[in-house]
Amino acid sequence: MKRRIVLLGPPASGKGTQAERLAARYHIPAASTGELLRRERARGTALGREADAWTKRGQFFPDEIALRVVRQWLATCGTKAFLLDGFPRTLGQAVAFDAELLAHRAELDAVFYLALSDEAIRARVAMRITCARCGASFSVSLHGVNEGSACPACGEKLVRRGDDRPEALEERLAQHRRHTEPVIDFYREAGRLIEIDAAADRDTVFAKLCESIEEAVPA
């Protein structure tokens, strides 16, 4: 079974939801750089403030910040099994991460890419609101909540993320095309990329992910 996994995709492709479900099903530690850095921001650290300044503008934070926070997390959970949501986001991060895994005599078992059109992304983001405390995301249309409602998970106020505003989203999409698409090509050429149609409903996407994870790791 595949146990060292990267889950990539454009904004609103469902990475966070699928990562949470996969982690629960297979008991694999999971994290995203965004989540880890939001924790740093909540703690008021310099690292959290620096990353937040980039994301509010809809821009990727520098490679060094992403690698530092992932390195800290892996030092705790180890490299035997992990699921990284949305990392690496740039070719520089991908190359550096592969080198670090090689130094630990480990390598990725699979890199999933949740593919979604720009039109579908804009529609999903228009309906998305997020908890200011725990970071959980909800759809206005699916979950019956609105901006300012209490978070169903922890009770904190739901807000619209700064990087979900229309102008910031367009910048995020441009950044994705410029920086992350080369990462997709990098892993495709390495024979580790598995593309999933994220336009399908979340249960269908989850089933396809599980089917692939439960297949034997390629020799």
Q: Which domains, ranges and CATH numbers included, belong to the chain?
A: 4-117+166-213 (3.40.50.300)
Query: Binning pLDDT at 50, 70 and 90, where does residue 60 land?
Result: low
Examine the residue annotation and report whether 172 is marked as an active-site residue of this protein. yes
| pTM, entire model | 0.83
Contacts of 32 (CB under 8 A, 6+ apart): 15, 16, 19, 84, 85, 86, 87
Catalytically annotated residue among 2, 4, 38, 172? 172
Examine the residue annotation and report whether 41 is marked as an active-site residue of this protein. no
Average confidence score pLDDT of the chain: 90
Catalytically annotated residue among 2, 38, 124, 128? 128
- Both tokens of 103, joined, read 């130094």
State the pLDDT at residue 101: 94
Average pLDDT over residues 65-85: 92
Q: Is 141's pLDDT higher than 90?
A: no
State the pLDDT at residue 58: 63
For Cα atoms 27, 28, 30, give the angle at the middle one, nearest 5 degrees.
125
Contact between 218 and 191 under an 8 Å Cβ cutoff? The reply is: yes
Query: Binning pLDDT at 50, 70 and 90, where does residue 112 land?
Result: very high
Catalytically annotated residue among 89, 124, 192, 208? 89
Examine the residue annotation and report whether 178 is marked as an active-site residue of this protein. no
How far, CA to CA in Å, does 2 sit from each of 15, 63, 112, 197, 205? Answer: 17, 26, 11, 20, 17
Q: Is 164's pLDDT higher than 90?
A: no
Examine the residue annotation and report whether 15 is marked as an active-site residue of this protein. yes
Q: Please tell me the distance from the alpha carbon of residue 210 to that of residue 196, in angstroms, as a whole number.
A: 11
Q: Please tell me the distance from the alpha carbon of residue 35 to that of residue 96, in angstroms, as a whole number.
A: 21
